[in-house]
């Protein structure tokens, strides 16, 4: 079923009126739908509005709502603390981690990140929206404003959850983390190009993060973020 994401749709709507040029182009030129076609409209929070297109005009598309339901995602709450990466490497991480089921992303600046600021937040949100549609998910991951890594680590210091930091100088592996039941939420941190500094690794450990290694191979920063999530899901039985 073709699908489109329109955040904050009122749940009681009987008809959806699309006026955004970007969404109109997507329906007409990408999905190539005509009047009478059925389409799923998602609110990005688990709400699914099954509808039928009743009018396609140059500046608007009207969709009659046939059925609505709320679909919660299975699995656990997965949070990535992601240092800023150069070029389109950040896009790759956001796309693949969305496909793998990430719930929330904190972009951060570290001592060794080369980008020190960015205006790409709207672009990143479009990336995760596209990945959400492609992967069949109904909930769009939340991306926060860019923050300093130490501020984000302190935010999680008093939160009761599994916290993992991957660091190239660690000796223990992910499989060394024991658990009696599958945790409700898992937060993980990987390093930038150049890795976490000793100060940042120490602050992560002080905030309750278990410092572990991804093994003997040196991975690119973007590869580490994606592989880490896959390993976390496998280790905690979330695949």
DSSP letters spanning 143-168:
EPPPEEHHHHHHHHTT--SEEEEE-T
Domain shared by 150 and 36, yes or no = no
Domain shared by 124 and 225, yes or no = yes
Give the CATH number for residue 133: 3.40.1280.10
Domain shared by 163 and 138, yes or no = yes
Domain shared by 160 and 226, yes or no = yes
Total number of domains constituting the chain = 2
Domain shared by 37 and 134, yes or no = no
Highest mean pLDDT among 14-28, 95-109, 192-206 belongs to: 95-109
Across residues 66-94, what is the average pLDDT? Answer: 88
Domain shared by 140 and 164, yes or no = yes
Domain shared by 126 and 40, yes or no = no
Tens-place pLDDT, residues 6-17: 887 888 888 999
Domain shared by 191 and 144, yes or no = yes
Domain shared by 119 and 150, yes or no = yes
> What is the residue whose two structure tokens read 């993980």?
188
- For residues 166 and 98, the answer to whether their CB atoms sit within 8 Å is no
Rounded distance between C-alpha atoms, residue 44 and residue 203, angstroms: 34
- For residues 169 and 61, the answer to whether their CB atoms sit within 8 Å is no
Tens-place pLDDT, residues 40-50: 999 888 889 99
Which of 70, 85, 106 terminates a domain? The answer is 70
pLDDT the model gives residue 75:
64
- Range with the poorest average pLDDT among 50-54, 125-129, 173-177: 173-177
Across residues 154-172, what is the average pLDDT? Answer: 90
Domain shared by 132 and 23, yes or no = no
Domain shared by 82 and 196, yes or no = yes
Extract the tokens encoding 164. Answer: 């993992």
Q: Which domain range does residue 11 map to? A: 3-70
Count Cα atoms within 13 angstroms, Cβ side, for 165: 28
Rounded distance between C-alpha atoms, residue 76 and residue 102, angstroms: 9
pLDDT > 90? residue 237: no
Give the CATH number for residue 41: 2.40.240.20
pTM here is 0.85
Across residues 203-213, what is the average pLDDT? Answer: 93
Which of 35, 70, 105 terminates a domain? The answer is 70
Which of 70, 100, 116 terminates a domain? The answer is 70
- For residues 142 and 193, the answer to whether their CB atoms sit within 8 Å is no
pLDDT the model gives residue 208:
93
């Amino acid at each position: 079923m073709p699908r489109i994401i329109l955040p904050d749709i009122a749940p009681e709507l009987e008809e959806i009126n699309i006026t955004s040029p970007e969404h109109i182009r997507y329906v007409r030129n990408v999905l190539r739908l005509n009047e009478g076609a059925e389409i799923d409209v998602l609110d990005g929070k688990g709400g699914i509005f099954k509808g039928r297109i009743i009018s396609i005009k140059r500046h608007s598309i009207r969709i009659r709502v046939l059925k609505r339901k709320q679909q919660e995602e299975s699995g656990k709450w997965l949070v990535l603390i992601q240092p800023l990466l150069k070029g389109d490497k950040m896009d790759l991480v956001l796309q693949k981690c969305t496909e793998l089921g990430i719930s929330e992303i904190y972009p951060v600046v570290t001592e060794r990140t080369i980008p020190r600021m960015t205006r790409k937040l709207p672009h990143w949100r479009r990336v995760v929206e596209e990945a959400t549609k492609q992967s069949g998910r109904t909930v769009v991951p939340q991306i926060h404003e860019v923050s300093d890594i130490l501020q984000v680590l302190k935010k999680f210091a008093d939160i009761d959850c599994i916290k993992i930091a991957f660091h190239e100088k660690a000796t223990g592996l992910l499989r060394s983390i024991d658990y009696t039941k599958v945790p409700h939420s898992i937060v993980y941190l990987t390093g930038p190009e150049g890795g976490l500094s000793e100060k940042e690794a120490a602050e992560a450990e002080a905030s309750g993060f278990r410092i572990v290694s991804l093994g003997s191979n040196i991975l690119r920063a973007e590869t580490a973020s994606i592989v880490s999530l896959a390993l976390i899901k496998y280790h905690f039985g979330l695949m």
